Amino acid sequence: APIIQIENMTKTYTLGGEVVHALRGVSLQIEKGDFLAIIGPSGSGKSTFMNMIGCLDRPDSGSYILDGKEIEKMKDNELATIRNEKIGFVFQNFHLLAKLTALENVELPLLYRGVKVKERKKIAYECLEKVGLKDRAHHLPNQLSGGQQQRVAIARALVGSPPILLADEPTGALDSKTSKEIIQIMKQLNEQGHTIILITHDWEVANEAKRIVRIQDGQLFEERGDFVGTY
Ligand code: ADP
Ligand code: ADP
């Protein structure tokens, strides 16, 4: 079965009496081991859809089966548990804590989960190694380049061994050479079995994925991926 099955999902926002249709009946199946890019211009519904895929918010209607689990039937605490188990998040602006070293940032999700210090450090080092940053473990974020900071953030997303990596504009704050390095790491993680979902407005980034869907006005369209440029 697909790892993600979304059927006819809708989401509207009401803002000052005006209704915004952010998702207009979106359906999407993602197979295990896929590397999917979701591309669209600003305001097209990318963040809204990412929040749904990541179980950070709930749709108004539609169904969502995540790795065999029916999301719409879950209580909020169950949703938080499944999110932690299934999905590692990567964001545009890294979201690292400035006063913690790379290693401590990577350890943090494990600390919250009550993992003991020795085990925590072991896993955190392993994850830093996966992104080629073990030798920067004791640096603070401001002692690292943007690309290195994003690699720390990817390592942090990996500590729970989530089957899915959900990256929201992970290259949006990086130059094009560094972007390519980050995409390269994501490709390696994909080869190691992680399902990757990458949200972007940059065709150069999207074209690196195995599959591309375009989002426009809250609707999804399958793409071949021979476009160029950015939105
Ligand atoms: P993108 O991430 O592609 O820029 P969004 O999902 O953020 O798109 O937004 C889709 C539409 O929903 C836009 O018209 C946006 O203005 C609107 N929207 C998003 N979040 C809210 C919100 N919290 N309240 C009202 N409107 C929102
Ligand atoms: P960026 O601007 O860096 O792409 P955002 O701060 O817009 O990322 O985050 C996108 C969405 O994810 C928002 O709905 C936000 O509330 C949520 N979010 C941000 N950081 C985290 C986090 N560490 N864990 C879970 N959700 C988060």
3-state secondary structure of 158: helix
Report yes or no: 208 and 187 within 8 Å, Cβ to Cβ.
Answer: yes
Pocket test for ligand 1, best of 47, 53, 219, 220 (most atoms within 8 A of CB): 47
Length of the chain equals 231
pLDDT per residue as tens digits for the range 30-49 = 999 999 999 999 999 999 99
- Amino acid in the structure at residue 113: R
Between CA 168 and CA 94 the distance in angstroms is: 10
Give the pLDDT score at 228: 63
Ligand 2 pocket, residue 168 CB under 6 Å: yes
Between CA 62 and CA 26 the distance in angstroms is: 8
Ligand 2 pocket, residue 49 CB under 6 Å: no
Between CA 79 and CA 196 the distance in angstroms is: 20
Give the pLDDT score at 79: 94
The ipTM estimated for the assembled molecules is 0.69
pLDDT mean across residues, the chain: 95
pLDDT per residue as tens digits for the range 178-212 = 999 999 999 999 999 999 999 999 999 999 999 99
Instruction: Tell me, in angstroms, the distance from the centre of ligand 1 to residue 22's CA.
Output: 6
Instruction: Tell me, in angstroms, the distance from the centre of ligand 1 to residue 43's CA.
Output: 6
Between CA 17 and CA 43 the distance in angstroms is: 19
- Strands 18-30 and 4-15 come out as antiparallel
Closest CA to 38 of 95, 28, 113: 28
Ligand 1 atom closest to the Cα of residue 201 is 3
Which ligand lies nearest to the CA atom of residue 44 in the structure?
1
Between CA 211 and CA 42 the distance in angstroms is: 21
Residue 230 has pLDDT above 80, yes or no: no
Between CA 173 and CA 55 the distance in angstroms is: 24
Give the pLDDT score at 224: 75
Q: Tokens for 218? A: 């809250």
Ligand 1 atom closest to the Cα of residue 41 is 3
